Structures are given as C-alpha cells and as structure tokens.
Structure 1
C-alpha cells in the first residue's frame, strides 16, 4: 500500500500556496464579519449547552481552525450550534450539575468520543453512512430542537430559576408551576432586545442584529441600575486563550456517554455535510465527503483538549462566508483568530450582558431554525417522509434528544424498507405468456410479495421482465428456484427476460447453469 502524500496528510497544502496578499486581505475582512456574528451566537450556544459562557468562545477557536485547514469545503464554518448544544445539555445534565466542573469534563469527554467516531467513519471511507439519516429526520429534529431550546430559555425570559429537566414536556410543566414568580422587568427587557434585533434585521439585513440587540439591552441595564437591580447577568470569566483541559477516561463515564456520542457525531456530520454540499453546489466546488468527515472528527478530537465542546457546521456563518466572497478556508481561520482575540481582551464586556438579553438572542436563533417552506415542500412531495418528520418532532419533544435521533432514523428506515419490500410490478397478458415487469431489487424483504404475485399467475409461460432488477440476494434466488420448480410440475415455465449478467450469475450459483429450473431470454 503506498504511503499517503503530504497533501493527503496536510490537505491545506493544496490551496495555501496559492494565497496572495489580496486574497488574504479579503479573507481577513470576511473573517471579521464572521467573528462579529460568531461572538453572540457562541456565548448563547454555551448557555444552551449548560456550559459557562467562555466555553462557547473556546469552541469557536481551535475546532474551527482544524476543520477549515483539514476539511474539503472552501466555505464551511464550524463551531457550536443550537441543535448540538441542546443534545449536549440533555445528554450530560442527568449525570452532573450544568455549569459545574464535572459537567464540563463530561461534555469534553463526550466531544472527544464523538470526534473519534467521526474520524473512524472518515478513515474507513464510510462518509456516505450519514445519508441514512434522511432529510426528514434532520428537519423534524431541528424543529423539535428549536422548540426545546426556546422552552429552555423561558426561565431566563421570565426571570425565574428552575432545575433542568430531561424533556421539553417536563420543562413546560415545571415552568407552569413557577409562573407566579415571574419578573416583569426581565420580560420587558427580553421583548426590547428581541424587538430591536428584529427591527435591525429588517432595516439593515447585513448588520449584526444579534450583537447590536444584546449591546442595546445591556446598555439599557447599565444606564438604569436601580430599575434593573436583581436582573441576572452572564457569569464573568477571566480573559484568556482556550486553556489546556486534560480529559479523564473513566470507563463508567465512557459507557454512559457512548450512545449520546454516536448520536451527536452522526448529527454533527449530517448537519455539516448537508451545509457543505449546498455551498459546493453554489460555488461549483468538488467536495470530498470522506475528507470532510475526517476533518470534523479531528476538530472534535483535538478541540476538547483545549476546552472546545462539540462543533459542527453553522449554516448562518457558512452562508455568510460564501455571500461575503471568501476566497479560501483562511476566512474561517481568520474568524477563529479574531474570536480568540476577543476571548482574551473582551471578556469583561460579557459580564455586563443580562440573561434576558441572551434569551432574546437565542429565541431569534430558534426562529431561524424553523424551516416552514421545507415542511410544506416535504408534505407535498412525500407523505411518508412527512410522517417521519412528525414522528421525529414528537420524539424530540417527548424523549431525550439523542433517543429522538435514533427514533427518527429507525422510522425512516422502516418506511424505506416498506417501500423496497413492495417493488413496483406491472402485470399483463400476451397470449400464453403472463408478463411481470419488476422495477426493484429481488431481496429477502421483497420475496414474499413477489412470490404471491407469481403464485397468482395463470399463464403457460410466466415471464419476468428483469431489465430493471439490479440486485438479487440468496433469498431471492431460492424463491425463484422454488417457483420455477413449482411451475415445471404443472408443465409451465418461469422465464427471466432481459436479466442483467450479474443477476443471471447469482441465480446459476445455487444449482449451476445445467440444473437451473429458471429459463433466460434476451
């Protein structure tokens, strides 16, 4: 086996030498725009995940740099995301108190395990495995995650404190029991921040609406200290680069986190590759899915050693990267480096942000996750996929989120197998021949359905037009032999017409060409 080349081990060598002063300046400007967008989002996602706010910034530094340098996409930007953050929270909160040192350690361990799973998939060139998580599952999960995240922010919006709950339904019931403790000032501050952010987004679509809305709300609290007394603020932290965080590999923790790590890893890959493919189609770029999978794995394997929680593709930041004219992945690297500068020199500013303002920004993010047009299109195109989306949505609201992902995948596979177990068959009569045109594979799942059709036939010559049969397994071969022998006993015959060579070869393997009861015609 030939040794991998330098460009395989260090894929950024393919494009980095082509960087010019002009393209670097352009990518730096695009990176600045991305960093401005990343700052409020990263802090918000850390709070969603139950982590201290600085961990959102840490996750937007080293993991982003690694994913950009080792990935295949020119424009994909990774980092903390809303869906990943809520899965992290629901996976780890039953094991440790959110925000505590134990909670942070478990989140980082889960991130490392998810990264190893992703990297192995890419190493084994199983990148296509993420295709088994259908678009309907992702759509239903994203809708459910938006609702779960929004419900999780209601306590900050109402100025009340309640313990974390494992499901959205439990959260809603718990909030209902504490509505009498609501602080109207927190609610008004949330509405002010939310309204201003929406107004800015409407009047100046390119402006950083989240950042400006949070800044205005924070300034209002600062200018009215007496009226705003008692409103909770984001926890202060010391400005520094991402600190080294040695991981503790305790077997019991690994076994507890492994199912969630696989779910998070798959979800992250589905999100990242979906975004990367959409951007590649617009930029006319060739995308190496397995290289992108390996890059995602590397970013999540090395990120937690430097306090970075699980990262995945961000549609908002990636689309901005493309629209702003990024020339290379250096735009993402520049964005991460600028976030690092803020983590060092701007940490004190974060301690002045009220939690109701952060709740408003998170609600705005949740609204952006709701794809109404996608839901309508799915309903028009496929009712079965729409049902999968609804089942995933309900599972997301009623179950823990990693369980909801598995439930959605199983529902999607169930409907897929149901469709393939009843391939399209057209039946018609031509004299003594009864013809069956089979459009699909003859495999174990479809054998019973096809055998019933053959047993209902009455022609002297039962002809299967197998031109559209691409695959046949052992169960299918055995079924055809069994039906051919049954027809021979009745002085009738079973004939495969226009069968592909690989199908004929598989059928002959059972008893050999000389003793095969099935006849073949061109």
Structure 2
C-alpha cells in the first residue's frame, strides 16, 4: 500500500530521513503507483514479469558498468544475477533492486588503480567480498541510524564529482582515442589536444546511441529503449564490418553458461584493496539508504536501514564469488521495478534468475556489442546524475555548504576514492558539530496574567532578587555546551539572582556541559545566587550524580521531568521563590507571578 509506515525496526532509526540527489524521481514513481491486492499466483506472475523486465533493462547498464570498472563487461551481468537473487531474499525494503550502480562501479575502478588483466579481475573479486563483509558488519552494528549524519552538501559534492568523472572516463571509449595521462583530468586534456585523431565512426555510433537512449524511452519501446539503443549501433558494426570500432569481444572472451563460484585469491588482499572496499561500501550504503527510506513495502511491513545494509552485504559477498561488480540499492532500477508492477521481494529475486537465463542463452550476442554504445550509455548516466537545481540549492544554503560540497567535489575529481570518501565523512562530522553548536538558543519564559506562558528574549544580565526561567533549545554536545555558556545571562553586578534552567530536551549530559553548568553555578554562588535545573530526565540526573561536579544538595537543585508538562519547572520556580523569601523576606514585590515565569 502506498501509505505504508515509514518507521523502521530499529528504534534509533525512526524518523531518520535521508535526502540525497536523485531521490525525487524515485519518490515520484512510488507516489504515482498503487499496489493492488492479488491472490498468490497472480501476484507471483506479476513479480515474474517485473523481474524479467528489470533483468532486460539491466543488461545494458550492467555491461556498461563492467566497462567502467575496466573488466570484462559480462561481470556486470554476473553481478546483477547474483546480487539481486541473494540481496532480494534478505532486504527489509522488499522492492529495492540491488544491482550495479555507476557510482559504485567508478569508485571500485578508482580503488583498483593501475591493475590490469587477470590481476585486476582477481583484486575486484576480493574487493567485492570485502565490501560485503564491511556492509554486513555495519548492519549488525545498527549503523543505519548514522546515515542521517551524512551532510547533503557533502553527498551532493561527491556524487557530482563521480558524475563528472564518469563522463570523462568514457570519452576515450566513445571517441576511439586512447588518451594518455595520469588521471581522468589529464587524459581529457590530452584528448582535447588530439581531436584530429579521434575515430569519427566510433563517435557517430556513440551519438546515435545517445539519441536512441533519450528518444526510445518516450515511445512504446520504453521498456526496451536502452537495450535497443545499444543493439542498433552493434548491428551496424556487424553489417558493415567496421573493424576499427571496438566491440566487447575485443576486451575479453565472453564465457558461455552460468559461472561457477570461485574462491578469491587471498594474495590479492592489499591495503589499497581493503581501504578501497571500505570506501565503496560507504558509497553504496549512502545511496542504498535513500532507496530504503523512499519505497514503502506493498504489504505495509516495517523497514530497517540496518537490515538493508546486511542485505546489500550478502549480495556483494555472493557477487564476489561469481567475479561480479559491487552492487547496491539502485535509484533508477528500483523506480523501474515499481513501474513494472512488482508486488513483493520475489520480483527482485526473479530478476536475478532471469539474468542468469540471459547470461546462459545469449553470450554470443553480448560479445558483439559495440563499445562506443556502452560508453555512450555511461555518458548519459553521468549527465543525468548531475542535478543543477540541487547544486543551486546547496550553493544558496551558505558558505559552510558551499565549502563542504566544493571540497568533496574536488576531492572526488583529483584524489583517490578512499581519500574523497574520508574527506566527505570528516566534513560531514565537522558540519554537524558546527551547526549543532550554533543551533542553540535561549528564551525567557514569562507567565502572563491569564496564565499563559510567553517566550521573551533571554536577558544578557540577571536581575537581582528575582527568579529568571530560561528554556534551552538545541543540541548541547561539547560545542553546543560552549555556545550555551556564552549565551547564559551574566550574574555579575546582581544580588541573589536565581536561574531556573529548563533542560527538557536534554537526553545526555557530556563532560563539557557539566563543566559549563558547574562554572555557572559557581558564578551564581559568588553573588549569593542559585541554579535550579528542571525537566531533567532520570538518566541525565544519574549522570549528574555520578559525576559529582555539581553541588546538588546545596546551591544547585535538580527537578526530574514528570508526565505532566512543565510540572517540574513550576515546582522549581515555587521553591526558588520560597528560598528568596526565606533569605530576605523583603525581597521581591507581591504578585511576583508575572516576573519569574512558570515554564
């Protein structure tokens, strides 16, 4: 059902919505789709048709991603075969299509560096299995809830950089010119300096593929559009015997039949392969989390980002044993799965089964596909992944977002994928801490004559012989605690000021916050004042008691939160006023209820 719950199995993950480039199209597909209730066999038949359609649609993408990784294109089909069949059985998001993605493939290609031939294929198999191991561990540790801390601007910058690299990576393929250079940027410059040497026939075939891939999806051939787009140029190459145009068989021999699982060569496990696997795992999980939270289950079953981590890990572990590419939750493939009418997880599993039949029946056709056609599909994928409107949104969000997005974009272009992902994670953490520390505000709560509570700007200085009630908004981690310290009203020059600090939203008290509260209590004591902490939950109270930094039986009083809203704060205000009266019976005017508010 379209209105299925978005809650997850893991309580910490509830409400942790992920936003990332490209999710809009998937959410539109889900919003415009309704899942009819069908009897068992009718539902399975719909799943079978959806699986077959998805498998056919994934043929050109899988092969193109094989080219992108720099291995035999058939490995992309092996990945779609094993990844969908294995991952579909375990995912909590039943319709999430686990298959090859351009971002994961390019990340794997960059991580494999200069390895070639059999050494590259062997290292890829080990890397993909390690990707699966990392993902399974992340899922078992419930890391799904951490995805929400990945900054949108960082994700946008990284994926935009990957999209540009994807386009640049395929320029030599579509032009038929083998560019020289140490990285994609220098190779592109080399290509531009030797434009006269490009293969015009290859370029023409690539342009034809692009035109067909853009136009055919808008015709009755929409489901087969990309497949026809690579078939037509390949037929032209075969009919006219265009020997100077590279085809798949020139890259490597296409094995016939279903591949047998093989054990990876342990000698291929190196530091670069291991760190590359970790980086690829992170890229896949960030992409997959967006898919996981955007597609409701037709039967209303709950979903878990962490369980989907495990499912993608199982898929990659299985794929690695079949020499496949890394796989993950795909935005576009999942949207197509929904559009094709998938009813359950069996559509994903059957897509893998159908891909196995394709691999077994048509290896000869696969070997004749023109490489410029596959390269053109990747150029189209890279171009489609660039989202100008979302880039503008990041740019307009202010200099922190610009800096984070721009730095990650440049890192993706010029550094290794491991370094780019590491920089992205670091920048996300810094942005979160920075924004959390500045997203702290104080208001003074004042009780009106009609009993309602008003919020006023917090004073900069405390009044003498009065109770001032301050409510705190925002995160009070160590940086936020320092912001709180700066914003608290100064007690200097006041006599016997009392502060009731309402901390109802505080879930844990860190060492920095305890130090800030202790220092503030000392400053109040110096002017014969007191500090009352209200709305404290039981766990925070226990933390304060164990730490022993606050004199909780003297100048600092703690009032635990109750089920009645503001009850703890009212009790704190009443006790604070009683203390003021006991200390100086003449202090404070009658009818003081409108001054130190109950809040």
Q: Shorter-chain TM-score: which interval?
A: 0.7 to 0.9
Structure-2-length-normalised TM-score: 0.77
Instruction: State yes or no: 1:486 paired with 2:523.
Output: yes
Q: Is 2:480 aligned against 1:446?
A: yes
Aligned with residue 231 of structure 1, among 225, 245, 248: 245
Q: Is the 8 A contact 1:508 1:516 kept in 2?
A: no
Residue 464 of structure 1 deviates from its aligned partner by: 2.6
**Is residue 312 of structure 1 aligned with residue 349 of structure 2?**
no
Runs of 4+ in 1 over 6 A off after TM superposition: none
Further displaced range: 428-437 or 103-112: 428-437
| Counterparts of 1:328 and 1:505, CA distance in 2 | 47
Secondary structure of the structure 1 residue equivalent to 2:431: helix
CA contact (8 A) 1:263 1:405 kept: yes
Does the 8 A contact of 1:441 with 1:472 survive in 2? no
Query: SS of the residue aligned with 1:483?
Result: helix
Alignment partner, residue 393 of structure 1: 409
CA positional deviation for 1:279: 1.1
Query: CA 1:514 to 1:121, structure 2 compared with 1: closer, same or farther past 3 Å?
Result: closer
Provide the rounded CA distance (Å) in 1 between the counterparts of 2:119 and 2:234: 30
Q: Which has the higher helix share?
A: 1
Match of 2:45 among 11, 25, 43: 25
Distance in 2 between residues matched to 1:102 and 1:19, nearest whole Å: 50
- Residue 68 and residue 274 in structure 1: after superposition, are their counterparts in 2 closer, same or farther (change >3 A)? same
Deviation track 1:117-167 (CA, whole Å, cap 9, x = no partner) reads 11112223333233333333333222211110110110111111135744x
Q: Matched residues in 2 for 1:164 and 1:21: separation? A: 56
Unpaired runs of 5+ residues, structure 2, are 1-37, 444-456, 559-571, 574-599
Match among 81, 85, 103 for residue 83 of structure 1: 103
Aligned counterparts of 1:178 and 1:283: Cα–Cα separation in 2: 57
Answer yes or no: is 1:48 the counterpart of 2:68: yes
1:205–1:470 CA distance, 2 compared to 1 (3 A): farther
Distance 1:266 1:19, change over 3 A: farther
CA spacing shift, 1:132–1:171, aligned 2, 3 Å: farther
Structure 1 residue 503 displacement after superposition: 3.4
Residue 193 to residue 161, structure 1, CA distance change in 2 (3 Å): same
Cα deviation 1:367-402 (Å, max 9, x = unaligned): 232233433444566764454333322221122223
Please identify the structure whose Cα radius of gyration is greater: 2
Residue 411 of structure 1, CA deviation: 1.1
Out of 141, 165, 168, the residue aligned to residue 151 of structure 1 is: 168
2:23 is aligned to none
Q: 1:281 to 1:35 in 2, by over 3 A?
A: closer
Pair 1:246-2:246 in alignment: no
Q: 2:436 aligns with which of 416, 420, 423?
A: 420
What is the SS of the residue equivalent to 2:479? coil
Query: Number of aligned pairs?
Result: 498
Partner of 2:215: 199
Unaligned runs of 5+ in 1: 1-17
2:82 pairs with one of 62, 81, 85:
62
**1:68-217 aligned within 5 A:** 68-94=88-114, 96-97=115-116, 100-162=117-179, 165-166=182-183, 168-204=184-220, 206-217=222-233
Q: Shift in Å at residue 352 of structure 1?
A: 1.9
Cα gap change, 1:253/1:222 in structure 2, threshold over 3 Å: closer, same or farther?
same
Cα distance in 1 for partners of 2:326, 2:247 equals 25
**What secondary structure, in the 3-state scheme, does the structure 2 residue paired with 1:73 have?**
coil
Deviation for aligned residue 1:258: 1.9
* 1:271 corresponds to which of 265, 287, 290: 287
Q: Tell me which residue corresponds to 1:13.
A: none
The alignment partner of 2:226 has SS state of helix
Match of 2:317 among 301, 316, 327: 301
2:177/2:197 contact within 8 Å kept: yes
